[in-house]
Structure 1
Amino acid sequence: MNDFSSALSSASSGLKAQSARLRHVSENIANADTPGYHRKIVSFDLSRDTGEVTIGRLSLDQSQLREIYDPSHPLADAKGNYDSSNVDLIIEIADAREAQRSYEANLKMLDQTRQMSSSLIELLRR
């Protein structure tokens, strides 16, 4: 049963990690129009001993902020420009899709582990 529990803990840690990734992607999308906002990037760490995924360090994307010309904006400088965010919605949608598919794969792993343990219990009953 130890293999089943390690498979379940590995899959559940993957679910938690992808859930956190989706949370940060949604924050990025929500702040896409916030001036000066830097995109958040989530990293993952894999434990070689247990096979569990943990959320690594959260970092900010250091790419250049987009400069927008709008002299009427309260944050505009003397030239009429202000720094927008560096969030690219296409990248965020792609990240959300990847996180969704990884989440679904971990759910499938949980379901298959459950089915295998149920089958094993049925075999042991006979």
Structure 2
Amino acid sequence: MEDNQQGEENEEEHSTEVAENTNPEVLEDYLLARDRNRREPRIPTRYNDFHIALNIESCEPSSVEEALKSENSKKWLSAMAEEMKSLKDNNTWVLVSKPKTCSVVDCKWIFKMKEEDTSKDLKIDL
């Protein structure tokens, strides 16, 4: 019977605590998630270097015309001649006349600038 009385007393104390917590003064200080100030979104630090990589990429020509109009046009021409010579020496490039019934496989020059230490090398692939 004593346990039952203690249980009733605990329930009364709990109900008074709940009543105290629902006091309007306490509810005024309570902030819901929707009422809080939004945080300012920031780009993660792992993406900080992407704008630099984009600037480096944009200085390489994307076509033969751009390469020939650039300030390094003589270097690009010599790199293209060197690549053609290498293909010919390795017997990987043979010029033939186009048959009327066949289609031609396209190819594209890929221009890359390689910077090692202080020297800048121009690399071309076909």
TM-score by length of 1: 0.23
Q: Which has the higher contact order (CA 8 A, sep 6+)?
A: 1
Higher strand share: 1
Larger Rg: 2
